[in-house]
Amino acid sequence: MAQFQLMRGLRISARTKIVHLVMDGLGGLPRESDGLTELEAAHTPNLDALAAHSQLGLAVPVAHGITPGSGPAHLSLFGYDPLVYDIGRGVLEALGIDFDLQPEDVAARGNFCTVDDEGLITDRRAGRIATEVSRKLVALLREIELPGVRTFVEAVKEYLFVLVLRPTEGQTLHANIADTDPQRLGVPPLMAEAQDEASQETAALVNRWIAAAREILADHSPANCLNLRGLAKDPGLPKFPEIFGLHAAAIAAYPMYRGVARLVGMDVVTLPGEALEDELQALRHHWGTYDYFFVHVKKTDSAGEDGDFERKAEVIEHVDQTLVPGILDLKPDVLIVTGDHSTPSALRSHSWHPVPTLLWSPFCRPDGVAQFGERACGRGSLGVFHASDEMSLAMGFAQRLAKYGA
């Protein structure tokens, strides 16, 4: 709250442009063969050259030792304290597919998954089934009815879908309900458990829907079960453009990240496709319209979650070859290159490790470290800092903040 009041009080108009390039799950861990992380092993001549003229550091998304979800990690990048502004993944997924979410709705992110004959989870993502397969399963799940509630089930991408509950008889739904995904293999899916008394009735409705859905899916392979995560209602966050005085655009292919950008009031631009080249084309097309650009790359995270060190390094190399020079050609006034969190391929999941971060501006005091990697960033002048400070740094280096105090 105080940070936002400070930004509102100090922000000034300027013609400068800020680009926030976020490689999802960027941070990694050293492999045994040569002690290099995915970022360090990747051939990144453009990022390394940029690092020599930048300030480097390691960003902590939530707090030391805390593994963040994608929602709070991105909110932190946008300047929101994720411990103050908590938001469930369901709302982000719903907004990401342009669902008309109402204040009284409860939304959940759904994962199709695979269970064995004993009901134990063998694949939390059902082999990343094609979106077309997901749509067919979603059509079956739309037949489930609940008393006093209208249900909406929408396909998102691959194994992901959204479930929305909307009251029809004047009652209030509550969303303080635990995830049903145990987030590990070899155990059965959970049922929805209310975390307070007010959420008991809503949890019972969710469990009724889950039971019916799992029965429908039982004979389908590999998506023969499902889990729900991030049950939530729209919290009505303060809006990014009003806080920072920036006309902001989100360039992201994946629905969830489009959702978090829309949640904070950014314009979400239409992409011609999902490749990095399509994102660069959209950035060029909208360059004259906006002050701030959030540019998101998903596949670094996907490769990390799949445990694929080489593929994650290849994605980073592709970013270095396409997005980085393309962005620099547009001559932004501030460029921040970072991730929302770390997703080491060694762990196959998000982790608590601080995220390598690069900040370039004509007004930098360069660290003179000609490499962009975890250890290089550990020696940088930004130090280990909170990710929510990236926006105040960007605003300062873009000369969009007045002096504080007399």
Q: What CATH topology corresponds to 93-232? A: Alpha-Beta Plaits (3.30.70)
pLDDT digits (tens, 9 = 90+) for 136-148: 999 999 999 999 9
The CATH label, of 3.40.50.300, 3.60.150.10, 1.10.260.40, 3.40.720.10, for the domain at 2-86+237-397 is 3.40.720.10
**Confidence band of 84 (pLDDT split at 50, 70, 90):** very high
Pick from 366, 346, 344, 370: nearest CA to 355: 344
DSSP, res 62: S
Round to whole Å and give the CA distance between 314 and 320. Answer: 10
Domain boundaries for CATH 3.30.70 within the chain: 93-232
**Confidence band of 1 (pLDDT split at 50, 70, 90):** low
Pick from 312, 307, 370: nearest CA to 339: 312
The CA dihedral of 391, 233, 96, 205, to the nearest 10 degrees, is 150
Domain boundaries for CATH 3.40.720.10 within the chain: 2-86+237-397
Token pair for 208: 């009724």
**Confidence band of 290 (pLDDT split at 50, 70, 90):** very high
What secondary structure does DSSP assign to 2-43, as a single string?
HHHHHHHHHB---S--EEEEEETTBB----TTTS--HHHHS-
Pick from 185, 144, 186: nearest CA to 161: 144
Per-residue pLDDT, averaged over 292-304, amounts to 97
**Confidence band of 171 (pLDDT split at 50, 70, 90):** confident
pTM for the model: 0.86
Round to whole Å and give the CA distance between 13 and 393. Answer: 16
User: Which amino acid, 92?
Assistant: L
**Confidence band of 275 (pLDDT split at 50, 70, 90):** very high
**Confidence band of 406 (pLDDT split at 50, 70, 90):** confident
Q: What is the pLDDT of residue 133?
A: 96
- Provide the total of helices (H) and of strands (E) in the chain, helices listed first: 15, 13
* Residue 306 CB neighbours (<10 A): 15
In three-state secondary structure terms, 164 is strand
The pLDDT of residue 297 is above 90: yes
For the chain, the average pLDDT equals: 96
